[in-house]
Chain A
Amino acid sequence: MKERVKQAVPAVLVPLLAIVSAFVVGAFFLALAGYDVPAAGAAILEGTFGSRRAVSQMLMKATPLMLIGVGVAIAFKGASFNIGAEGQFFAGALGVTLLEGILRDRGLPSWLLIPLLLGAAVVFGGVCGAIPGYLKARRGASEVVTSVMISSIMVLLVGFLVNGPLQEPNKIYSESQEIVEAARLPRLQGNSNLHIGIIIAVAAAVLAYFVLEKTTYGFQIKMAGQNALAAEYAGVNPKFICVSTLAISGAISGLAGGIEVLGLTWKLYVSISPGYGYNAIAVALLAGLNPLAIIFSAMLFGGLNTGCNQMARTLGVPSSLSALLQALVLLFVVAYTVLQPQILQWLKRGKERC
């Protein structure tokens, strides 16, 4: 137990350091632009935790990040770098929209329709993940390249469809027709748009943690991820692990896309994701690829987003500056993740000197 606590300290310390550094640098820029830094900080806190509305807004933003983060983490654990989560998210959203178009006039009840639709999201996303996996296992093609390419295809495909075959009946807006009432995810609170997606996301994170830490399949993922030669030697098929983890990763990202459409937007359009698929990589890295920690890092990023928006509103800070602050956190997270070993050594040496 003691050893576990010891291991957990750096896992918490380093991300914390990243966040603090980002805010320090961010504060510098805010001050440079002539804004009241303490007021800005207060606005960010206010926008994140200040009200029920703010909290539910934060959780809503955290939902897709959490799901995709979990998906990305599973692939990363198996040493597959799924950079194409954005496209898998779109694929899931597209799957939901297509199937809803087919089923919308059948009058199916919610308890049947919603699982069917989310199933389509999982399949669409899963296929988008499995293709790079197959190409890597079979042909040795780098999944970093192929997953991004497939991601672009999906985003552009959605862009085409919502301006063509899937465009709403009035042909005015570049978006699909609004989904039927029965297909919408139940709300958690009557007056806010927080939906049960957050519960699904938390459940997915817990399940992923269980699979990775407690099952033989999870053990095999870690084996293949940490030493593919040894995994092969011990009787695990690294190619199967590669394809299956990327497929699962894609499926979860697809599920996030489906949930976004059914729970929040109710229709498909190109700006449905402000880059969730990429930000989720930072979410997963900040959490050290631990699915349980991803629950919190996703909420942090969700809160950062809503908090910065609040700051932009109350202080009149230009949106580019609030985007800068968010980007800084991302940058520092990635930097600190890469430099983690050095930082730990540095901290340790400081301790020895004392």
Chain B
Amino acid sequence: MSLEIKHISKRFGAVQANEDISFRLEDGEVLAILGENGAGKTTMMRMIYGLEAMDSGSIEVNGTPAAIESPKDAIRLGIGMVHQHFMLVNHFTVTQNMMLGLREHVTERLNLREQNRRIQKIFDDYGFSMDPNMRVGELPIGLQQRVEIMKALFKGAQLLVLDEPTAVLTPMEIEELFQIIRQLTAQGKSVIFISHKLDEVMEISDRVLVLRQGRVVGERATKETSKEELIRMMIGRALCPMEKDRPDSAMRRYPVLKVDKLCVKGERGKRICDISFEVYNHEILGVAGVDGNGQNELVEAITGLYRAESGHVYLNGEEVTNQPPRKVRAHRLSHIPEDRHARGLILSMDLTDNSILVSHGEPPFSRHGILKQRQAAAFTRGLIDSYQISTQSERTKAADLSGGNQQKVVVARELSLNPELLVAVKPTRGVDIGATEYIHQCILKERQKGKGVLLVSAELDEVMSLSDRIIVLFNGEMTGCVYADQVTQDELGAMMTGVSRDFSALSPAWEE
């Protein structure tokens, strides 16, 4: 199916979300739409799917003008959308979910057997083996996404809009998703692939459209462009190269964090066992591993959020095993949590409150139990300035900030505590390139200042480029401890899947 967008504009209050956007999508084509958070990608897709009315402009489907006023119109025209956050009913089965919103049967009795047969046929066509009677809530994220895609196809989608589809997937699931996309385009269906991950865009798309501040800043055939050029278009400049200094060999080295034979019994029967490692000053220790192999349990046990079964955790030589988070933090530990919405921020509170979340009980933010709002506000304005957080004011609610800026608030708060050890878990998750670069530099600066950093991330690039040493977790066990500059992605991959083990880096590199 072909789609043509002509001069679309959309304004929300003072913000011009989209301005004069035009592009074309051909049969069987994958068009990637790249852009930083807030560049206007999602707004545009919402207009194409009829969730948002456009201020001006028009849309043509297969050469004829189309009025899309609601998702109903979009579906009728053959446009399907897979949202970033799935629109599935967890308690329903796969079949029930796929039949949701079917219009033709409103007055008739549902012919369940017939529908089941049609669903099974779609599954078969795409080589998708799954019991359609499973409850969606019990499926892994990757399969839930598959159900969303199948749902769109079941409703007759000829054009599929995928909004940041890989953000929640493991590398294997991403590969499977790409298989499906290739299969779709081979049948002449078109795909709009929204992302800010360049590697994926380079791999899967035929053409790339780059948005910045609501405007189209460039359009390229994927074959004729490079990552560097795309980055320049996205953020308006080239990325600064990351520089890591070699520590002075005369410097005294000591472990800031020592984890000794730690065992944790996590939720849902998961456990980590017998984990031992040290993070030295002036060092970034990366933790690599496929999500769910014990990273969470490890971090929560270190930070006091979860009980350790046995073993010990020392911060600067003092034991903090199983102490409450407040006491652990008193040993100058800062923690950038994995999920900024669940733990890192209180979205319903404003930036000032979020900035003093941890230190509200200490001067200058309070005295004798009375909060000093003025000091807190001044402090927050300082953070906004020095971390370039874009917000209307220090009284703006955290929920009203973009993901990247929310993350900057968390990073700013945790670093302002002047930690000896920084525990950073997926510090750039869902953050755009500009902010990612900035946060990486902040983490490197901590190392420069001689602090210790424990960096947990699912993205190998991030772990490998920032870390001095890397430990690998597989199935709750440590399968490796290596120097970051002496290991390849493939070797790490082998340790991450438990195929090989390598413990060649139990002390910081310079000692040799």
Contact = CB atoms under 8 A, between A and B. Distances in A.
B343 interface: yes
Given A230-B345, A232-B305, A223 B357 contact: yes
Interface string A199-241: 0000000000000001111111011001101111111110000
A3 B348 CA distance: 15
B370 interface: yes
B371 A216 contact: yes
B326 interface: yes
A216 B324 contact: no
A3 B366 CA distance: 24
Nearest to A235: B326
Contact of A223 (B305, B346, B366, B370): B346
Given A223-B357, A230-B357, A237 B395 contact: no
A216 B361 contact: yes
Contacts of B127: none
A70 B320 CA distance: 40
A3 B397 CA distance: 12
B360 A216 contact: yes
Given A216-B361, A230-B342, A222 B371 contact: no
Contact of A233 (B337, B366, B395): B337
Contacts of B347: 227
B487 interface: no
A230 B361 contact: no
Contacts of B419: none
Nearest to B361: A216
B32 to A, nearest CB: 34
B358 interface: yes
A179 to B, nearest CB: 37
B436 to A, nearest CB: 23
B371 A215 contact: yes
Contacts of B348: 226-227
Interface string A316-335: 00000000000000000000
Contacts of B311: none
Contacts of A3: 393, 395
Contact of A227 (B303, B346, B371, B393): B346
Contacts of A230: 342-346, 357
B366 A216 contact: yes
B240 to A, nearest CB: 31
A233 B329 CA distance: 10
A227 B343 CA distance: 8
Contacts of B325: 232-235
B371 A233 contact: no
A232 B305 CA distance: 7
B371 A214 contact: yes
Interface string B319-351: 000001110010000010100001111111100
A223 to B, nearest CB: 6
Nearest to A4: B395
Q: How large is the interface on A (under 10, 10 to 19, 20 to 34, 35 or more residues)?
A: 20 to 34
B358 A235 contact: yes
Interface in A135-154: none
A223 B347 CA distance: 10
A234 B395 contact: no
A129 to B, nearest CB: 22
Interface-central residue, A218, A220, A222, A234, by most chain B CB under 10 Å: A234
B324 A237 contact: yes
B369 interface: yes
Nearest to B335: A233
Nearest to A219: B360
A210 to B, nearest CB: 9
B324 A235 contact: yes
B342 A214 contact: no
A269 B326 CA distance: 48
B322 to A, nearest CB: 14
Contact of A226 (B337, B346, B366, B395): B346
B343 A233 contact: yes
Contacts of A231: 346
B353 interface: yes
A231 B346 CA distance: 8
Contacts of A220: 360
Given A226-B349, A230-B346, A235-B324, A216 B369 contact: yes
Interface string A14-45: 00000000000000000000000000000000
A293 B371 CA distance: 22
Nearest to A236: B326
Contacts of B329: 235
A227 B344 CA distance: 10
A209 B348 CA distance: 19
Nearest to B348: A226
Interface in B393-407: 393, 395
Contacts of B346: 223, 226-227, 230-231
A3 B393 CA distance: 11
Interface in B359-387: 360-361, 366, 369-371, 373
A237 B348 CA distance: 19
A229 B349 contact: no
B410 to A, nearest CB: 10
7 contacts: A3-B395, A214-B371, A227-B343, A229-B342, A230-B346, A232-B305, A237-B326
Given A233-B344, A234-B325, 20 more contacts: A214-B370, A214-B371, A215-B369, A215-B370, A216-B360, A216-B366, A219-B353, A222-B349, A226-B346, A226-B348, A226-B349, A227-B342, A227-B346, A230-B344, A230-B345, A232-B305, A233-B303, A233-B325, A235-B325, A237-B324
Interface of A: 3, 214-220, 222-223, 226-227, 229-237
The 7 closest A-B pairs by CB, nearest first: A235-B326, A233-B343, A234-B357, A227-B346, A234-B358, A216-B366, A235-B325
